[in-house]
Amino acid sequence: MYCLDHLNFCHLILFRISCFEIVNALLLRQSQNSLTWPKGPGFSGANKCISPRYPKGSIAIFGCETRTIQQKHTNHLNTSYDMKISDEDPLLILASKSPRRRYLLEQAGLKFSVIPSSIDETRVPLSSPETYVRILSEAKADDISKKYPEKWVIGADTIVLKNGDILGKPGSRDEARTMLKQLSGQTHQVLTGYAICCKAKNRMFSETVKTDVLFKNLTHEEIEWYVHTKEPFDKAGSYAIQGLGTFLVKSINGSYTNVVGLPVCEVIEFLIKEGVIVIAKARKTSSR
């Protein structure tokens, strides 16, 4: 009997995302003959429900529809698994305008709407970095959930820490150079607070996920080249691990998608636990 437990299922999804990111990064670097802004799937388009198409046999889960994958077994039986939402048909909402978070959920196969929160982040009280990003993610999710109480809303916030100092988004080339020099050859932390809220069910879950990231030793030429790509300027810590900045990172300890902007494994595990996503064995058919 073939069983797909929640943890292994999430690992399969993250493996798929990681492979896609590596290939995408290599293609970008190979074709980078001039200093231009990198573009990729999932980084453009108006706010709308997203339902990416995958080839037959791919592993995916979906928030608003049912699809089937086939798994062959040594006993010559094909078992079908329907990955579908519960009967209550909850719709997911991403309360963030981040193209990176949207991209991650899209690659995981989730169908969702993008409705960014409009809260004033300066009004969120400062506290420890771990607590601050979690409270901020709760505020974002709560803001949108008040308007759509029947829906499941995902809020998130990400910061970069080096020796306890928060590295935000650089406002100039000089700031980007300074941050990259700080991170060169050193280990820093990426913290993402995420919250998932449904007002109708009186449910709010949140936590902070941490990933350690080790940079390679950067030369002056590498820093200058990367700064001139303009990629650092809307990224906390002045780099994007999923973009051209992939060459900066020597190793990570923890969740890769957390560094991009959302810990996908943890998000999906919670949605499965709450019954928002259902993995159900549908039927068995003989193979001749």
- Which residues are the active-site residues? 157
The torsion angles phi and psi of 217, rounded to 5 degrees, stand at -75, 120
What whole-number distance in Å separates Cα of residue 152 and Cα of residue 202?
A: 11
Are 32 and 55 within 8 A, CB to CB? no
Query: Is 25 in contact with 242 (CB distance < 8 Å)?
Result: yes
Q: Tokens 């990003």 belong to which residue?
A: 133
Total count of residues recorded for the chain: 288
Q: Are 133 and 161 in contact (CB under 8 A)?
A: no
Q: How far apart are CA 237 and CA 91, in angstroms?
A: 33
Place of tokens 């494994």: 265
Amino acid letter for position 194: Y
CB 51 within 8 A of CB 65: yes
Q: Under DSSP, is residue 213 helix (H, G, I), strand (E, B) or coil?
A: strand
